[in-house]
Amino acid sequence: MSIDEVEVYISPSGLSRAAIVRRADGFFWIYKHVKLPQNYLPQHFANGASPTWFDDATPVEDLYKDVEPSSGIFGTVDDARRHLRGGPDFCDAVLAKPGERQK
């Protein structure tokens, strides 16, 4: 499956990621992914660092396996961006390059 990420946003904490993705028909979806902070799964992070989307190296296609988009289909990137930025989780998010999650 080929994923056409147009814009990717990462929350200031680095734990939430949202991508505006172009559909085959030219419209857009928003996909959201969340990482659990360290205190939820301490046994998995022995070095004490919480995982974030800033340092995640998961291939983009793997992020979309068995994941449904968030609500809505958007006609333009601007519509999707306004919807995404209008919520509390991503109003202060950092714009990242599609397919790239490094700070």
Q: For the chain, how many structural domains are there in total?
A: 1
Position 38 in a domain: yes
3-state secondary structure of 89: coil
Confidence of residue 46 (pLDDT cuts 50, 70, 90): low
Looking at the predicted structure, is the pLDDT value of residue 103 above 70? no
Euclidean distance between CA atoms 42 and 20, whole angstroms? 31
Residue for token pair 């190296």: 57
Rounded mean pLDDT of 58-81?
Answer: 92
Domain of residue 21: give its range. 4-96
Position 102 in a domain: no
Structure tokens at 54: 């800033």
Inter-residue contact 70 to 20 (CB < 8 Å): no
pTM: 0.79
Q: What is the largest CA-CA distance in the chain?
A: 45
Position 24 in a domain: yes
Looking at the predicted structure, is the pLDDT value of residue 80 above 80? yes
Position 86 in a domain: yes
Position 103 in a domain: no
DSSP state for residue 90 in the 8-state scheme: T
Residue for token pair 């989780």: 89
